Structures are given as structure tokens and as C-alpha cells.
Structure 1
Amino acid sequence: MASRTISKDIITLRGSAAIVSEFFGYAANSILYNRGVYPEDSFVKVKKYGLSMLLTQDEGVKSFISNLTAQLSEWLEAEMLKRVVLVIMTKATSEVVERWNFSIETDKEVVEKGLVHFLPKIHITEELYNFLTSILSCF
């Protein structure tokens, strides 16, 4: 039987390495929740940048996402990353069910000069809202 892999359109992450890796963590949580990968009751509603979002409370998943976003941040700061693909697979057969493509655009000035990038909270809130909306539109 032929399997069907859903490949989501490329979603672009923009900003400093810290912002991009943080947003990717929120994206992963959003996808895991909205696709029902983990039980609904394993997520808790939190406010981030004035927006409500659901984050996993499963220690294993939290640890995985935390380690992943830390590694992403390192790679982004070293300009070693242009794209990230998040794959959802079945546990039993390792069959790929969904593939989410994220294009990465880091702020070159921040990376090159080692600057700490501080954006106004309202700008981060708008960017995060637009980013999460683009993910939700794929469902």
C-alpha cells in the first residue's frame, strides 16, 4: 500500500539566532499539539509575548525541544543553517506522516558583529503571531 506524506509549504523564520530558535520551539509545540501527536492534557496554556500558546509538559519532549533549540541557536550563530525540516513519523513503522519545512533567515548584522538583538516587545509579538498564524493555516 502506498503511503502518503504530507509536506507543508516552506515557512520562513526570520530574526536573530535567539529569536529564530525560540520561535522554532513554539512552532514544534504548536505542531505537536494541533496534529494530536501527544495527548491534549500534556500541554499547558502559557502567555509568551502577550500571546496564548500551548507548551508541552512532557519532560522528555520538553528536554528534546530544549536541546534542539539550543543546538539550532549555535548553528545559526555560526551561519551553518539555512533550513530545518521537522518530520512526524509513526513510532511503530517509522513511516513519515508529515514533513514541515522551515526556511531560516538570520539577521546578518547580529551574527557578523556578535550583537545582542533587542527588538521592541510589540515587534516580537507581531512576528510571533504572524509566524504561528502561518503554521495554523497549514492545518
Structure 2
Amino acid sequence: MAVNTYRDLVGVFADFLSVAIHTILYERDIYPRSSFRSIRRYGFPVRFNRHPGVCDWISDTVRAIQTELLRFYFCIPLISHLNAQLSRYDRLKKNSVERVAVVIYSKASRPLERVVFDLSGFPTIPPSDANTPFEEEDSDVTSLADIMEQLRGAMRKLAFCGSSLTPLPADCTFNVSMELKAGIERPQVDHTSLPWVPVRQSLQPAAASASGAGRASGRDQGTVNRPRAKRKSKVGGDLGGARTTPIRTVESGAFMLEVWVEESEAKVNGLSVASSG
């Protein structure tokens, strides 16, 4: 079976992301391990949380990210004099997402780890081409079996990443965030939308503060919303981490995904990550 349309690529990634989030929550002990069951995905045993609320939250979040990957956005060419030569339709593109990250916080709401899924290598296409097969002679055409084999390797590394990371403190929480491409506004929110909100400045790319480019949005889970204490923090100061652990680069035709884990300075250098209260 070939994965030969953009929509196919998005579907494969969405399925992988769902499994990956469950795996991260298990491996990093965000929820009790007794609340997970073992299933097989990608020919590999993985853990899925049993709680319906957790499962629904993950499913809804992944579906929202999938929707964003399929959303039209208005693309402004870098060379300004070309603008007049392009119709509005020509400047509409799909794939507004640069990266997705699972962010783990201490009880005091300090970012400790980010598991990053880099989608910058995914194709950017006109809206009419989401279901258009890639040309047969095009290197973008790839087999599902090849992608699944590489995702199996990524899942194996992710499932054992805990052995190469220092332990987390108790009572951590997490959220899932999206970093959007330059010039893209964050998703519109209405009464039917998931509550995407801008992430803290320290987790936003530097350009986001000034121009909105690359703006990141996130969803909180497993936490009671309380006002967070204000602290001085540079824009983007918690991006990149003090230590990075590569997980896997998956490259098969048009499917290009890189996964890594960032450990923050607060975690690596043993700064206070516990609640002072």
C-alpha cells in the first residue's frame, strides 16, 4: 500500500502521535503505571492509558492537530514584488504546523522536558492537492510498510528513552503544544473549539513575541488551573533545553519527521522544581 497523498501523510502522523503521547505519559510516570494496559502497535508492545477521560483528551488533541495540518493558510511570498503576480488562491497553502511538543512541567509549573516532533520537512501544498496522488515517478511516493518500519524504530527508542533521561519529580503535569510556521496566526477559538491558548513566552520562538510568527499554542491536561506566579523569563528561554537526546529521524518519500527530547536547565542543573508552597 502506498502513502501517496498529503492527507495520507497527515493520517499516518496523527496515529503515531497518539501512540507516542500515551507512551510518553507511561515512560515518564505522569500517571500511575497501573492505569495503563499493554497493546501492540507498529509490531511493538506499547502502553495505553485506561482512563476514558485521558484517552478522550488525547484523541481530541490529536484530532485538533490533524485539523490544523489540513487547514488552509495565507502564504505571503518572501519576495514582495511577486505578491501582485499571485492570486489569493495561489497563496493558500496547507500545513501550518512547524512542530508539535509534549511538554512536562514540575509541580511549580516549570518546564522540565519537551518531546519534540519536528514537521518542518512535511510538504506545503495548495489546498486543491490534499487528496491528489504524488506522481508515480516522484520520490514523494513511498510505501506504508517502509514508513511503519521506521516508526517502529522511533517508537522503540521512545519507549526506552527513560533509561537515558534523569528521573522527574513527583506530581508533574503536561500539555501538548503546536509551533506554527512563520506568519501564521494561532487557531481561532470558538465555543466548539479545543482551548488552544498561547504558551508562556519562554516556550515561544523569539520571533513570536514581536510579530506573531511561529506562535506556539498549547493545551493543558492533568492540572488544576491556578494563577501562575509571574517570573522573569526570556522569550524562548526554555526552548532547546540544556541537554538534547535524539530519538529518531524518519524519512521516507514525503514523510519527514524528526523526534528528540529536550531537558531544561532547571532539570539538568538541579534548580528548584518543587512547589515552594
Q: 2:11 aligns with which of 1, 4, 18?
A: 18
Deviations 1:19-61 (Å, cap 9, x if unpaired)? 1111111111111111111111111111224322111112221
Tell me how far apart the structure 2 counterparts of residues 127 and 19 of structure 1 sit (CA, whole Å): 12
Q: Does residue 73 of the first structure (1) align with residue 70 of the second (2)?
A: no
Q: Does residue 86 of the first structure (1) align with residue 93 of the second (2)?
A: no
Once the two structures are superposed, the pairs formed by residues 46-125 of structure 1 within 5 Å of their partners are 46-78=39-71, 79-90=95-106, 92-104=107-119, 105-107=121-123, 113-115=129-131, 122-125=145-148
Tell me how far apart the structure 2 counterparts of residues 116 and 55 of structure 1 sit (CA, whole Å): 34
User: Which of the pair is proportionally richer in helix?
Assistant: 1
Deviations 1:98-131 (Å, cap 9, x if unpaired)? 112210143557x762228897553343022122
Of structures 1 and 2, the larger Rg is shown by 2
Structure 1, unmatched stretches of 5+, are 1-14
Aligned position for 2:83 = none
The one-letter code of the counterpart of 1:32 is: L
Of 20-29 and 123-132, more deviation after overlay is shown by 123-132
Deviations 1:58-90 (Å, cap 9, x if unpaired)? 222111110111011111122110101210113
Tell me how far apart the structure 1 counterparts of residues 98 and 151 of structure 2 sit (CA, whole Å): 19
Aligned position for 1:6 = none
Q: 1:44 aligns with which of 26, 37, 47?
A: 37
Aligned partners of 1:25 and 1:66 also within 8 Å? yes
Aligned position for 1:127 = 150
Tell me how far apart the structure 2 counterparts of residues 116 and 34 of structure 1 sit (CA, whole Å): 38
Tell me how far apart the structure 2 counterparts of residues 19 and 62 of structure 1 sit (CA, whole Å): 18
Question: What's the TM-score once normalised by structure 2's chain length?
Answer: 0.39
Of 121-130 and 24-33, more deviation after overlay is shown by 121-130
Tell me how far apart the structure 2 counterparts of residues 18 and 54 of structure 1 sit (CA, whole Å): 21
RMSD of equivalent CA atoms: 2.7
